Amino acid sequence: MSPFLQVSGLTRRFGGLVAVNDLSFSVAKGEIVGLLGPNGSGKTTVLNMISGHLPPSDGQIALADTRLSGLGPHKIARQGVARTFQLVRALPSLSVTENVIVALAFGRKRLWGEAARLEALKRLEQVGLAHRAGQQAGDLTYIDQKRMELARALAADPQLLLLDEWLAGLNPTELQTGIELIRGLKSSGITILMVEHVMEAIRALCGRCVIMNAGIKIADAPTAEALSDPAVVTAYLGEQHA
């Protein structure tokens, strides 16, 4: 399959620290790919560069035929890229529905009024949160805040969805619900790049994984093969386990 997301020679420096070092990988349209690695390996920095929240120091990012590197977050969002964050960024004084409407008003569809309200309710239904639509976002539990954030990302009508540890902190029942939800997104044609530490979810959802350590790619292979790579085992567990 031809690449839909193409990352080439991506590098990000913070002074003398090289957080991401000459990273290259691709994601095909409709694919779910895991971006994995120990804490501090540079995964979230990669998502920040793809979404435009950080400019690359070097390298290029392209979505289909459009170059994303160098564009601001709002312009990248208009190209069909949406993301979630490790820490949920809710607007606590607004209702759950209003939080999603904000994404619709400034997203690709630019919906307002009743059309925006109906679309917001549709997205909340999609993530299992329609029953809390009228509540204030600040009153939601942590898990429901994450559902709301996913609904906001989906409201942007993305072609590429970047998930940054969206499944973290879920109990076993919620985890299975979350896995099925993400699997359903794939059937709708959305391409997904997910940073995740929950290996059960990675094995269930990702046909392939890109694995980083200390800013460098150490594996890019089908999931089972990547997770059993000696370099990956060493990165996670230490030399004695490789």
What is the tens place of the pLDDT at every residue in 61-74? Answer: 999 989 999 899 98
- 237 pLDDT band, cuts 50/70/90, is low
Burial 69-83 (b: 16+ CB within 10 A, else e): bebeeeebbebbbbb
What residues contact residue 128 under an 8 Å CB cut-off, 6+ apart? 147, 177, 181
Residue type, 116: A
Tell me the HSE value of 21 on the side-chain side, using a 13 A CA sphere.
Answer: 13
pTM, rounded to two decimals: 0.91
Positions of E strands within 113-177:
160-164
What is the tens place of the pLDDT at every residue in 9-42? Answer: 999 999 999 999 999 999 999 999 999 999 999 9
